Chains A and B, each alone.
Chain A
Amino acid sequence: MKALNNLKLAQRIQLTIIPLMVVLFALAGLTLNYFSSTRTINNSIKEAHVYIDRLIDIVNIVELKTGKGLTSSDIFELKPYFIKPAFNKTDFPSLISKNGEFLIHTTRQGARLPIKAVQELKNLKANEGHLTYQDFTDSFTENRILVYKYYKPYNAYIAISVSPTEILEQVKVNRQALIIIVILSSLITALIVSLLLKPISRQLAHLSVRLKQLAHGEIPTYVKVTDKSELGNLANSLNGLIDGHKSTTEFAQQIEQNKLDFEFKPLSKNDQLGMALLQMRESLKRAQHEEAKRKEEDNIRTWVNVGLAKFGDILRQNNNDLSLLADSVIQNMVNYLNANQGGIFMVKDNESEKYLELLSAFAYNRKKFLQKNIMFGEGLVGTCAVEKQTIYLKEIPNDYIAITSGLGEATPTSLLIVPLKLEDEIFGVIEIASFNEFAPHQIEFVEKVSESIASTLNSVKNNIRTRELLEQSQQQREEMTAQEEEMRQNMEEMQATQEEMQRKNLELEIITSAINQSLVSCSLNEDGFITDSNIVFQELTGYGKAELEGKLLENLIVESQRQEYNKLWETVLNGQSVNTTLHLTGSNNNERFLLATLTPGFDPMGTLIKILLVGHDITEARKLEIMTQQQAREIEKNIKRVKEEQEISSQRQQEMETLLKALDQNCLITIIEPDGLITYINNKNVEVLGDRKEDIENRYLQDIDFTAKNKPKEFERFWKALHKGIKQTREFSLEVKGKTHWVLENYTPIMSEQGELYKIINIGIDITENKEKEFELNKVIEQLKQQLKK
């Protein structure tokens, strides 16, 4: 049974039901078998009785025939009726004597019934009936049923021995069928059982898995509900459970996340967990609420404390710069109160009256650069200063901020004006505007801080005054030092300047004295009048100093140069110094030349103050120059003449070139060296005689000349004459391309200055046409001569 416990439910059912069914079916089969075989045997016994009765009928007939008693004829007569078995193979009818001897029997005639059976037969004492006996044969023992009827005439029993085995042979087939039926129905049953069990088992498995998960605290997925059976209900319930679990979990999570307003319905009125959670939530809510309340109170306390500390710091930190302090205070105040604008005013004393000066204003997160003074009693701020009481307005006139308070721009909804007072003395006013209402603790806070501010303002005021005084004196001292240093530098500069000027003056004096001793010098004013002159100038002009002063320089200049001078003067007046040679006429018409520089002098503003003339007497040099100029002029003339001649010769050269060009085009030109080397032939030569340039040039005349070849003596004469400088003329003809050309050659020797032959130039003229005409003329003359002879 323990092993069974470990099996799955389905398996368990299968394991128990299927054998049970098999046993039951087998039992049924066996019972059936038993009853049917009993009935069959009984039927067979009845049938045997019937068969016996019919045999008795036959026996009766035979008895009648044969006479009384059993005789051999009876046996003989009866035998054929006993040959055939009644129904089966071995149930031969028989005639058995009282002592059990088979009187008639097909197979066992003469044999005996077993003694037990005979005994029993005797004991029964019945005339008919049946008994069961054990029949022994040679080979086997068999239970048989002997159906018998006592036949009185023969004093014997007519019997049939039936073999139940044989009878039951027929029933055997039935039994096999029965077995098959049992097996089949067992199998079918098993199949049906398993088919029925499978979904249930699966469902159970699903349920079990989920239940297991639930048991582990997990949230399983829903089970699919397939039917409305108990299992379906179970699944539904499980789903419900999962739902509940889910929602409870979610609720718990929400609580954990502090979402206490999460909607949660308990699964039922009796949902203990749900209800417990709801209660927990409620108590949490309560606790939180209380906590929040406590926290808020704490917050307020902390806010106030932190604020006081913060402003304490601020007031301590910036207490050397009032405007910085005010900026910081008002900015922090506005931010700390979550307000949007604010201003801090400080009481100032005018000689006559007290007023409030806006130290700093801060609005919408930026500093405002405003300047405003409010008289005591003027507006809310002024009133606050007079009354020394906090003013808190929840409704502000539309234009209040813009007009009265000096904070400008939009109109917030709440306005708090707190006096900055210390021991009933007012030091200023702080004004804060907000779009939110101020909480009582905020107002209280501002009032508290105001005292500190007032106290700091007081001390800062004093500090600043002290420091200002200190700084002022320090600054003055520094300034004094700086100024002293600057003054010292100025002094140094002045001194250096002075020294420089002294040095310059010294230098100028030297220059001036040098000028005065060696150079002509005079000063002129801007109109050209001489204002001062040195001795050299006086000597030059022959006038005295007094005579020169007030004289126009122009008047000393020769008439012919005055125009030029006036032009120069203009240039000088324009600020340029000018170098020139002045031609002056002295006192006794003494002509003098002066190489002079006219320099304009300006004051620092650039205004002309005087013109200085410095010059050098170049009269002697000038005279020399004039002479030189005359010589130069002559040289120039010569040069001109030479140039003219050069021009002429170049003209000639040009003409020559033209001529040569013409010659080159019309004549055959050959240039020959004294030794006979031909250095040049012109194109005409090539054209007429057909020899290429390179065939002729750089060869010797004596090598290629016909005369030299044919008449050496004549050539020698010709050549010698040329070397002596005598011109030679000769004529020759040459056949070129089937045409006879006649050329008249003029050899011109060119002699060097030493009388030696320098070059020979041969100018040849193509006279072919002339020759041809000459020939024709000669012919005509010949003809005429002959005609004349005739």
Chain B
Amino acid sequence: MQVTDQDLQYFINTIKSVSKYDFSEYSEKSLKRRLQKILEDYNLDIISLLTTLRLDRDFLEKVVKEITVNTTELFRDPPVWHLLRSRILPRFKNNKTINIWHAGCSTGQEVYSMLILLNEMGMLEKAKIFATDINSDVLDVAKQGVYKYRFNLGYLDNFDKVIKENPLNFEEYNDVPYEKYFDIDKVRDTITIKKTLTELPIFRKHDLVVDGNLFFAKFDLILCRNVIIYFNYSLQNKVFELFHNNLYSKGVLLLGMHETILGPWSSRFERLGQAYIKK
């Protein structure tokens, strides 16, 4: 059975009425597909789903978690990391501290990628890393820093591309061993981030739609990659406003590969690839 616009509206309203979650400004098409998936996975029709949502708080949390998409990788989209390495992070080289917010950090790979890059650049000591996500399950995974190994062999490729190689200078090659940052256990099929890294970031549950800035700090760098694609135009602008307000002047907002700021907030940022620098 196909989810109708009406169903989606009911779903959004139900969730909004029984919890603080608000999906009303999420991208309709995407949300519809997620809802479809949930109905199929639980083998429910929309009425029973809504009833259960009203009655069972835990189930609601579970559904919210399943609605969110948690795709991430270590050093996802290496060109973006090159940009960070060559053009963005050097801007903060002389800062006393660098506040970084990973909004929508998912299972934490991006956070650890950032820590590794900062460490390689000798800036880790200055960095204060805050990482948030709406889904507390993925935050738990993020805190552990343990990922599947075989399924994620691409991580190591990305690591090579970002850390070992330099696209601007093909002769350069930094032989950083994986063991410096990971424990790879092929038998258990795990790749584990070293404890020295996992204990650094501050992980918090956070809903970009309603929670504002959880931290009593402004940021030099906000990474919010592949998040706003699930939001509609209006919510995107709200999120941009939130980020703009909580960035230092000349602070940088980094969006996903195919995300751009259009509309009213575009003029408040200077664009540099996927990076938007607050004017």
Contact = CB atoms under 8 A, between A and B. Distances in A.
Most buried by A among B34, B71, B82: B71
28 contacts: A479-B148, A479-B189, A482-B148, A483-B151, A489-B69, A492-B30, A492-B69, A493-B71, A493-B229, A496-B27, A496-B29, A496-B30, A497-B226, A497-B229, A497-B256, A497-B258, A499-B29, A499-B30, A500-B229, A507-B262, A511-B262, A576-B270, A602-B273, A603-B273, A604-B79, A604-B80, A606-B83, A606-B86
Contacts of B86: 606
B78 to A, nearest CB: 10
Contacts, number: 81
B239 to A, nearest CB: 13
B259 interface: yes
Given A495-B29, A577-B270, 7 more contacts: A479-B151, A486-B71, A489-B71, A497-B256, A500-B259, A602-B271, A604-B77
Interface string A452-495: 00000000000000000000000100010011001011101101
Contacts of B192: none
A606 B229 contact: no
B37 interface: yes
Counting chain B CB atoms within 10 Å of each CB, the highest count among A493, A508, A577 belongs to A493
Contacts of A3: none
A8 interface: no
B273 A492 contact: no
Interface of B is mostly: mixed
- Range of interface residues on chain B? 35 or more
A13 B273 CA distance: 138
B242 interface: no
Contacts of B34: 492
B230 interface: yes
B99 interface: no
A507 to B, nearest CB: 6
B70 interface: yes
B274 interface: yes
Given A496-B30, A500-B258, A507-B262, A605 B83 contact: yes
A501 interface: yes
Interface of B: 27, 29-30, 33-34, 37, 69-71, 77, 79-80, 82-83, 86-87, 148, 151, 167, 189, 226, 228-230, 233, 256-260, 262, 270-275
Contacts of B77: 604
B87 A606 contact: yes
Nearest to A498: B258
Contacts of A489: 69-71
Given A483-B151, A492-B34, A604 B69 contact: no
Contacts of B151: 479, 482-483, 486
Interface in A576-606: 576-577, 602-606
A504 interface: yes
Contacts of A511: 262
A284 B86 CA distance: 94
A511 B71 CA distance: 32
Contact of A492 (B33, B189, B259, B272): B33
Nearest to B31: A496
A765 to B, nearest CB: 70
Interface string A496-516: 110111011001100100000
Given A496-B69, A499-B27, A501-B258, A606 B226 contact: no
Nearest to A493: B71
A504 B226 contact: no
A503 B151 CA distance: 32
Contacts of B274: 604
B186 to A, nearest CB: 14
A129 interface: no
A496 B27 CA distance: 8
A408 interface: no
A500 B227 CA distance: 11
B191 to A, nearest CB: 14
A575 interface: yes
Interchain residue pairs A-B with the least CB separation, the first 5 = A500-B229, A496-B229, A606-B273, A496-B30, A604-B273
A605 B273 contact: yes
